[in-house]
């Protein structure tokens, strides 16, 4: 009667062998990361097993000791990133922190050595042809195609995706063709997101505060397209210069307060030197050679050159007319304060 009604006497515990077998079965079904209290509730309420919490705790400790120790530490267990060599996987993404002021940044980083492959500022990082130009120039200089390219699912990466798949289609490894390009959420693109976190204190904070101060002082109206063109005309070369310096120094030192520590500490795990990239590249074959001739056709058909100083041709011609200064002569402006002075001068004479 009691068995038919699924009743049991209070305190009557199921045999230990049945408890252990059911716990092992639940582990195989996906319940391997829960604690003994949750396991005890599942056993008693859903599995028809009568067991005390103490019995379940001891059984779990014997069955899965590593899991018990990990849960007792109350620490997040991070997934391990695996990259077998330089150019095994490169990560690309756009950076929009300065986009409200008319400046867009796009970058790429090698997942193995953390070498910055490109870091460019321009008027847009959403045009697939402009973005693809950076990738093609990287292929042209290295004469190699990376094994895998990782990006988000944005439309700005569609041409890079097509170029990567086309160049890797002739190879016979397990990641050739369509497998050579990986798309996913931007937050899961670990290496490039790490780069953006480093870029913020070294670069973004200064420029964002500067532009916000200009807005507060009435010098900049970021809703005015003419002002945004002036921002790019005056500040873009200086911003690109800062990005180039950041690309060179970020793998060498990192500053904590007033102390400068070499990359033997945390920075050594984040950003390695350029020599690490090239030395390992020559010993570990993780890339595939391509002929340089095809890049001329790819550049002509699928890319678009960046605008000079990030501005339209009409705007640059207009600036030359009202200032009677050749466009190349503006390159003498190489500091943020000089760029700000030039910006104020241009906005004062423009309608």
Domain boundaries, the chain: 16-73, 90-349
Report pLDDT for 241: 92
* Whole-Å CA distances, 339 to 98, 236, 239, 335: 16, 9, 10, 6
- Quick one: pLDDT at residue 279? 52
What are the φ/ψ torsions at residue 132 (nearest 5 degrees)? Answer: -65, -25
Q: What is the pLDDT of residue 66?
A: 83
Tokens of 160: 């890079």
Nearest 5°: the CA angle 197, 201, 203 is 100
Gap between the Cα atoms of 331 and 319, Å rounded: 14
Nearest partner of 171 among 288, 291, 298, judged by Cα: 288
Q: What are the structure tokens assigned to 227, written together?
A: 């002002």
User: What's 254-289 look like in SS3?
Assistant: EEECCEEEECCCHHHHHCCCHHHHHHHHCCCCCEEE
Say which residues have a Cβ less than 8 Å from residue 76's Cβ, sequence separation at least 6.
none
Mean pLDDT by 10 residues, the chain (351 residues): 63 83 88 86 86 89 85 75 84 93 93 89 92 92 89 90 90 87 85 88 92 93 91 93 86 40 42 52 57 78 88 87 82 87 88 65
pLDDT for 128 equals 93
Per-residue pLDDT, 351:
65
Domain spanning 90-349: which CATH class is it, in words? alpha beta
Instruction: Please give the C-alpha separations between residue 266 and each of 87, 251, 252, in angstroms, as whole numbers.
Output: 23, 11, 12
What pLDDT sits at residue 292? 66
Give me the phi and psi of 348, to 5 degrees please. Answer: -75, -25
Residue 320's pLDDT is 85
Q: Which residue spans within 131-221 are E strands per DSSP?
A: 144-146, 149-152, 181-184
What distance in Å separates the CA atoms of residue 312 and residue 28, rounded to the nearest whole number? 62
pLDDT of residue 213: 94
Tell me the three state secondary structure of residue 112. Answer: coil
């Amino acid at each position: 009667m009691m068995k038919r009604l699924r009743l049991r006497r209070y305190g009557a515990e199921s045999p230990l062998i049945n408890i252990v077998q059911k716990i092992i079965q639940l582990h195989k079904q996906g319940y391997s990361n829960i604690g003994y209290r949750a396991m005890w509730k599942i056993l008693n309420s859903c599995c028809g097993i009568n067991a005390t919490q103490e019995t379940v705790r001891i059984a779990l400790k014997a069955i899965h000791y590593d899991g018990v120790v990990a849960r007792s530490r109350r620490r997040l267990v991070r997934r391990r990133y695996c990259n077998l060599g330089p150019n095994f996987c490169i990560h690309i993404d756009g950076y929009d922190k300065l986009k409200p002021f008319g400046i867009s940044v796009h970058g790429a980083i090698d997942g193995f050595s953390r070498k910055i492959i490109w870091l460019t500022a321009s008027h847009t990082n959403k045009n697939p042809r402009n973005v693809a130009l950076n990738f093609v120039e990287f292929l042209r200089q290295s004469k190699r195609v990376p094994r895998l390219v990782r990006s988000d699912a944005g439309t700005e990466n569609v041409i890079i995706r097509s170029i990567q798949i086309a160049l890797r289609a002739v190879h016979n490894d397990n990641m050739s063709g369509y497998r050579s390009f990986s798309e996913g959420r931007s937050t899961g693109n670990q290496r490039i997101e790490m780069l953006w976190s480093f870029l913020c204190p070294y670069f973004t904070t200064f420029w964002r505060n500067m532009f916000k101060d200009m807005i507060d002082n009435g010098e900049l109206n970021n809703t005015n397209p003419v002002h945004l063109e002036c921002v790019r005309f005056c500040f873009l070369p200086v911003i690109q210069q800062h990005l180039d310096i950041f690309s060179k120094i970020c793998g060498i030192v990192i500053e904590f307060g007033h102390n400068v520590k070499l990359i033997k500490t945390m920075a050594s795990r984040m950003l390695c030197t350029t020599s690490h990239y090239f030395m390992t590249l020559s010993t570990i074959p993780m890339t595939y050679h391509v002929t340089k001739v095809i890049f001329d056709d790819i550049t002509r058909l699928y890319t678009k050159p960046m605008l000079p100083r990030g501005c339209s041709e009409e705007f640059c011609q207009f600036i030359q007319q009202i200032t009677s200064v050749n466009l190349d002569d503006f390159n003498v402006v190489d500091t943020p304060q000089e760029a700000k002075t030039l910006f104020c001068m241009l906005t004062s004479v423009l309608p």
